[in-house]
Amino acid sequence: MHSPYKNDFQAAATQAANESAFESELNILKDIFRLLPTSVTVQDENGEFVLVNDAAAAALRMATAAPEASHLNDRRETCLELLRSGRPAVLEESIAGGQTKQVFLTSHRPVRIAERNLLISSSTDISEQKAFEEHLFRSAYYDELTGLPTRRVIEHRVNSLLKYDNGQSLFALAFLDVDNFKHINDYYGHSVGDALLAEIAKRVGLDLRDTDILSRISGDEFVLLLNPVESESEVAEFIRFILQRLKTPFFIDQSEIFASTSIGVSLYPEHGRSYEELRQNADIAMYRVKNGSKGAAAFFDASMEREALARMKVEQALRVAILEKRFCCAFQPKVDIRTQELMGVEALVRLRDDEGVIQAPSTFINLATELGLIDELTHLVLAEIVKSIDLINENFGPDTTISMNVAAKQAGNLEFMRSFAQAIEATGFPKRFMIEVTEDAFVTKTHFQDEILPIFRKLGVKISIDDFGIGYSSLSALADITADEIKIDRSFITDIHKRPRSQGILRAIESLSEALGMTVIAEGIETFEELAYLQAATKIRYAQGYYFSKPIFLEDLKLTTPRASEARASQISRPAQENRPTYSRAGGYRR
């Protein structure tokens, strides 16, 4: 017979076991909830937190400790708004604590459980993703060196102004370019050049309004938007203030650097009704300053546009001339002033225009350098020398040194100078060449002295310092220079017999050059008096100038060019010819 309490006991035991299992499962769920890596919270109808796991608690503690602890209030307001609307939402939340900033992507979902309206929220930390996005944004829209907005930012701002304007407002666009920045880079190094750009940006950026924008658009070029402005005179006054501020020296890396900036200005709507037109006209005005005194400012006017169009035609003509190889060489002798013997010739490039007129290098060399065409032009000159080598040998002798000029910009370009050295070696007679570079190549911080010079030395190519005395060096700089020849600039030679101070400088250069084993050549001898002074009062033996000979076009000598020279022009590999019959000019030099 069974006890009547047995079933009750069993039922109670079963219930207790179920409750124990439920309690155990609940504890497991609580631990899981607490340890979830994702931040999870539950808020009630009043915005109070009912449940908070560890990840959420850590974020909330950081929010509470933040100087501006408004995050919790914002969270409460968001909860109440979403519970009222009954709609889910996904929002970004930022929490700043001390030096760190965290960004969360939070999903909010209103629910009703046990007759209560609750808001369940889960957050994912997207701080690294947002930091990467911000980095990409700054890379696209802000200059890394100066922190200034990029070209696209200022262009977008101007286009926005133009979109909603009817031509009644007035603003100015200024184009700023640092003068002689390449020289600063070469002399002091690129790190100092970069620091200078950053300091210039700071100085120009002082006193700008929130509606103004300064942008670095490339290299050493900046564009400044002044908006709004009342008149041209207001803009001119502010630009003068900027120029005056930039005249104060910059102290960078223990160096005192003086820098100036050329500025061109265009006004809307007078000088253009699009960003590109305004920028281009400001650029044209800036180049007017560059071609003048530099370190000044100019407003655009119509005459500048005509000049720019004329310049563009010259540029196009120069490009066509290089493409069609319409260049030739004239050769000017270097003469021993004691014996009148020829000791070398200098190859001087000339351009034949569309009408066959010979153009001097002053009309195109600087432009070719500016347009990046000078390297190709230098190779064309070398090809002309190779093409004319038989006539050179015939008229000047097979052992005559042939001098070529290399622009200052090229002398520090390791890649170009290597290719140029290879081209000289390919001629088959590299030891006959002398490369003329200005003194800047030696005293600036380029690769020339340490890396480029040894390449040419190995080939037997000689080095000449051209236009000595008018660059940035001093006599003491000669002690560190490895060169074969110094050409004293004609500015020291002109009327030397009348100028005692130039005579003293000439004696100093002569003495130091002699001590260092360098040949001295006087450039620009044009009168007998100049020659007579050098012969009587100096030890200088060599000179060149119109007194001895103008640059000579070999075809004008009316000698027949051997056919072999044409073949060599393409192969440039044959050694110099054997001695040929001499040629002497009546009353001129001899060899």
Q: What is the pTM of this model?
A: 0.56
- pLDDT attached to residue 583: 31
Whether the CA torsion 408, 411, 414, 416 is positive or negative: it is positive
Contact 513, 520 (CB under 8 A): yes
CATH code of 36-130, in short, is: 3.30.450.20
Task: Measure Cα distances from 514 to 223, 345, 493, 507 in Å.
Answer: 51, 22, 18, 10
Say whether pLDDT at 526 is over 90: yes
3 state SS of 92: strand
- How far is 133 from 136, CA to CA, in rounded Å? 5
What's the pLDDT at 537? 92
Q: What residue spans of 444-499 are helical by DSSP H?
A: 453-459, 490-493
Query: Quick one: pLDDT band at residue 580, thresholds 50, 70, 90?
Result: very low
CA pair distance 41, 48, nearest whole angstrom: 10
Per the structure block, which two tokens stand in for 490? 């004609």
| 29 vs 23: CA distance, rounded Å | 10
pLDDT digits over 10-32, tens only?
665 566 555 666 677 777 877 78
State the average pLDDT over residues 254-262: 91
Query: What does the pLDDT read at residue 66?
Result: 55
What is the pLDDT, as a whole number, of residue 18?
A: 59
Quick one: pLDDT at residue 334?
A: 94
**% of the chain exceeding 70 in pLDDT:** 84
Averaged pLDDT for residues 320-327: 86
Give me the pLDDT at residue 323, please. 86
CA 553 → CA 10, 214, 332, 392, 481, distances in Å? 126, 53, 9, 10, 34
Tokens, residue 519: 């040949």
Q: Alpha-carbon distance 157 to 148, whole Å?
A: 14
DSSP 449: I
User: In 3-state terms, what secondary structure has residue 328?
Assistant: strand
* Ranges 157-166, 337-346, 373-382: which has the least confidence: 157-166
Mean pLDDT of 207-218: 93
pLDDT at 318 over 70: yes
Chain-centre distance for alpha carbon 282:
20
pLDDT score recorded for residue 589: 42
Average pLDDT, the chain: 83
Residue 86 tokens read as 């009954």
Rounded CA separation 536/528 (Å):
12
When pLDDT is averaged across residues 136-164 and rounded to a whole number, the result is 87
**CA-to-CA dists, residue 47 to 52, 77, 78, angstroms:** 13, 7, 8
Domain boundaries, the chain: 36-130, 142-300, 318-556
Per-residue pLDDT band at 366 (split at 50, 70, 90):
confident
CATH number of 318-556: 3.20.20.450
Q: Is the previous residue joined to 228 through a cis bond, with omega within 30 degrees of 0?
A: yes
Residue 334, classed as helix, strand or coil, is: strand
3-state secondary structure of 120: strand
Which residue from 387, 304, 404 is spatially nearest to 562, judged by alpha carbons?
387
Return d(Cα 190, Cα 184) in angstroms, integer.
Answer: 8
Q: What is the CA radius of gyration of the chain?
A: 39
**Other Cβ atoms closer than 10 A to 140:** 10
- The beta strand positions in 370-461, using DSSP E, are 401-405, 433-438
Residue 565 has pLDDT above 70, yes or no: no
Q: What whole-number distance in Å separates Cα of residue 573 and Cα of residue 232?
A: 63
pLDDT tens-digit readout, 423-438: 999 999 999 999 999 8
Q: What is the pLDDT of residue 404?
A: 95
What confidence tens digit (pLDDT) does each residue in 80-135 have? 999 999 999 999 888 776 667 788 889 999 999 888 899 999 998 888 887 777 77
Residue bearing the bigger pLDDT, 582 or 116: 116
Question: d(Cα 303, Cα 321) in Å, to the nearest integer?
Answer: 27
**Do 142-300 and 318-556 agree at the fold level?**
no
| Secondary structure in 3-state letters for 451-494 | HHHHHHHHHCCEEEEEEECCCCCCHHHHHHCCCCEEEECHHHHC
Half-sphere exposure (CA, 13 Å, Cβ side) for 515? 12
CA distance 589 to 531: 14
Evaluate whether 303 touches 323 at the Cβ level (below 8 Å): no
142-300: which CATH topology? Answer: Alpha-Beta Plaits (3.30.70)
Mean pLDDT value across residues 359-380? 85
Compute the residue count for the chain: 591
